[in-house]
């Protein structure tokens, strides 16, 4: 038996997002065990986000604000 806290969001999607209230601060968290599988593409998306080349649609499903902007929180991937 194992125990501990799983680092995952309620909708099981990571947060890859700028923090709007803190200029220049970005989050990339909540991957749970999926980080090994999606790490390479997530890394590309994170690099594009930080460099300003990621379009808003690329980041929309991963935005931090989805938990407080009235979006429905659906358990499981909802992209």
pLDDT tens readout for residues 39-54:
899 999 999 999 999 9
**Domains in the chain: boundaries:** 15-67
Q: How confident is the model at residue 65 (pLDDT cuts 50, 70, 90)?
A: very high
Q: Which residues of 3-36 are buried (b: 16+ CB within 10 A; e: fewer)?
A: eeeeeebebbbbbbbbeeeeeeeebbebbeeeee
pLDDT at residue 73 greater than cutoff 90: no
pLDDT at 48: 95
Considering the entire predicted model, what is its pTM?
0.80
Q: How confident is the model at residue 76 (pLDDT cuts 50, 70, 90)?
A: low
């Amino acid at each position: 038996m194992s125990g501990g806290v799983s680092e995952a969001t309620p909708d099981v999607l990571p947060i890859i997002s700028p923090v709007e209230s803190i200029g220049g601060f970005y989050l990339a968290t909540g991957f749970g065990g999926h980080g090994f599988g999606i790490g390479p593409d997530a890394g590309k998306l994170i690099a594009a986000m930080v460099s300003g080349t990621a379009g808003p649609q690329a980041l929309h499903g991963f935005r931090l604000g989805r938990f407080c902007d009235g979006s429905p929180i659906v358990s499981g991937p909802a992209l």
